[in-house]
Chain A
Amino acid sequence: GNSVTQMEGPVTLSEEAFLTINCTYTATGYPSLFWYVQYPGEGLQLLLKATKADDKGSNKGFEATYRKETTSFHLEKGSVQVSDSAVYFCVLLVNNRLAFGKGNQVVVIP
């Protein structure tokens, strides 16, 4: 089946630190991959996407590269801000259906 695995546990880091959230997937066919972000009290918002192998999605300083050989789509940001505090979900789309990871709470401390 199709599934997404995100690293366990919340992530707490200081402002301007480097952020990495790991995401791996299993899928039949050729999925598109997304990162969604959920800010407190708001709905999930699309952060970035990649639709084929070796594509790099980027937005708001965040990046993720679609790695077919390692079935991964890790999210990175070089210098986080307090406003980046949110829950981040790795999501795959295959056969027009979304499959979600568990999400990672990111807390950025001033």
Chain B
Amino acid sequence: GAVVSQHPSWVICKSGTSVKIECRSLDFQATTMFWYRQFPKQSLMLMATSNEGSKATYEQGVEKDKFLINHASLTLSTLTVTSAHPEDSSFYICSARGAGGAETQYFGPGTRLLVL
């Protein structure tokens, strides 16, 4: 299947700093990318959906000024956690969808963020 990468896989930062996470579709063009957040022993919660060249659509309760999403190309989306705080510590997973719809949605391996 198609490959989606995330970088970094692990990040530890101090409270108040900003962290950028990259998501790349390596062998296909992703018309849509998704960002999810996963708490321990919980399901994946959709944070936002982004289409290339457009502003992201955020789910209810997700602060768009806190979680900045950029989808500048068909193979790259970035999530920036601004002024991170300990409560932002979580596992962030990106997903990229090709032209075939939801059944061609591929997931990255996730990024573990720990804010001290």
Contact-residue bracket for chain B:
10 to 19
A45 interfacial contact with B, CB 8 Å: yes
* Residues of B close to A29: CB separation below 8 A: none
The complex places the Cα of A41 from the Cα of B107 at a distance, in Å, of: 12
* Residues of A close to B107: CB separation below 8 A: 36, 38, 43-45
B1 interfacial contact with A, CB 8 Å: yes
Q: Write the B39-59 contact mask toward A (1 if CB under 8 angstroms, else 0).
A: 001111010000000000000
The complex places the Cα of A32 from the Cα of B101 at a distance, in Å, of: 12
The answer to whether B106 touches A43, judged by C-beta atoms less than 8 angstroms apart, is: yes
The complex places the Cα of A36 from the Cα of B93 at a distance, in Å, of: 14
The complex places the Cα of A93 from the Cα of B102 at a distance, in Å, of: 8
Total interface residues in chain A, CB < 8 Å: 21
The complex places the Cα of A42 from the Cα of B9 at a distance, in Å, of: 10
- Chain B min CB distance to A35 (Å): 13
* Residues of B close to A46: CB separation below 8 A: 1, 103
* Residues of A close to B44: CB separation below 8 A: 89, 100
In the assembled complex, 29 residue pairs joining A and B whose CB atoms fall closer than 8 Å, in A order, are: A32-B103, A38-B107, A41-B109, A42-B109, A43-B4, A43-B6, A43-B93, A43-B106, A43-B108, A43-B109, A43-B110, A44-B95, A44-B107, A45-B1, A45-B107, A46-B1, A46-B103, A49-B103, A93-B103, A96-B102, A97-B46, A98-B46, A98-B102, A99-B43, A100-B43, A101-B43, A102-B42, A102-B43, A103-B43
